[in-house]
Amino acid sequence: MQAKNSLGWTIIRCCGVAAILATGCSRWIELAPSPDPAKPGGIAQSIARQEQVPLLMDQVQLSRNGAPQNPSPETAQRLLGTFKDIGLFARTGLMDDAATVGDEKAVHARILIDELIDPHPGDAAWKGIVIGASMFLLTPVIPLQYDYASHVSLELERWDGQIKRYESQSAGTGHYHLFGATPLMVDELKGHVMEACLTALMQQVVQDTSFYTASSAPLPDNSIRSVSVKPRPSRGSTTPFVPVSSSSGR
């Protein structure tokens, strides 16, 4: 009889430990409401195939908590895939890989992504100490959180030099317990926030469909694209750049 009671308590303890571990691995994501919510589904537009022009991605800039970062190739491909999904442009591609468009009309895109990340390290450390001191018994009842926000600026330049600018922002919080803090949770949170930003941007672009049709503007007389080239001063240098001119007479 005593052996049966001991076995019963062992089973109860094992079930309790399993419940604590299962609850301690839980996580969920909460997206903040958009400051300027778009209408569900947006406004449908139509465009004839002969009116479609290609879109070339000129530049993707990424900053995280104010510090410049190198965007991954997956980021550019995701952006191009989003443009392709709306069906506005004849084709999409990177400026470096795309075939020369020559005199063909094309739209050039530049995107800036500004990420704000706050994992609440101090709060997480304090709660981790409390959970550890309780021998993990408080794991199911002490939630942790990871905040992520993104602000995306999009600039589309038409073949005649006219520019349209769009902006969107979104934020979310990943709630998790001690054992749920995995890279998968962070990636999932970033994916949801970025998807909300891109959806809002594409809804704005679609509303300007007529601006990007081939017949909306003629090609300029000078089809050579020009870019501004300027020096970048070294960090900490206060010496101004002095223009150098070559003398014609010797």
Is 107 a domain residue? yes
161 domain residue, yes or no:
yes
Q: Are 181 and 213 in contact (CB under 8 A)?
A: no
Q: Which three-class secondary structure state does DSSP give residue 245?
A: coil
User: Which of 24-33, 100-109, 117-126, 159-168 has maximum average pLDDT?
Assistant: 159-168
| Residue 193 confidence (pLDDT) | 94
Q: What is the pLDDT of residue 92?
A: 92
In a domain, 194, yes or no: yes
- Report phi then psi at 60, rounded to 5: -125, 115
- The C-alpha atoms of residue 106 and residue 102 are separated, in whole angstroms, by 10
Q: What angle do CA 4, 6, 12 make, to 5 degrees?
A: 105
Residue-wise pLDDT for 105-127, tens only, equals 999 999 999 999 887 665 555 55
pLDDT of residue 233: 55
Instruction: Answer yes or no: is 37 within a domain.
Output: no
Predicted local confidence at residue 124, as pLDDT: 57
Residue range(s) defining the domain that contains residue 105:
49-216
How many domains is the chain built from? 1
- Tell me whether residue 42 is in a domain: no
- Domain presence at residue 5: no
- Give this prediction's pTM: 0.69
What is the CATH classification number for the domain harbouring 154? 3.30.160
Mean pLDDT of 26-34: 68
Domain assignment of residue 38, yes or no: no
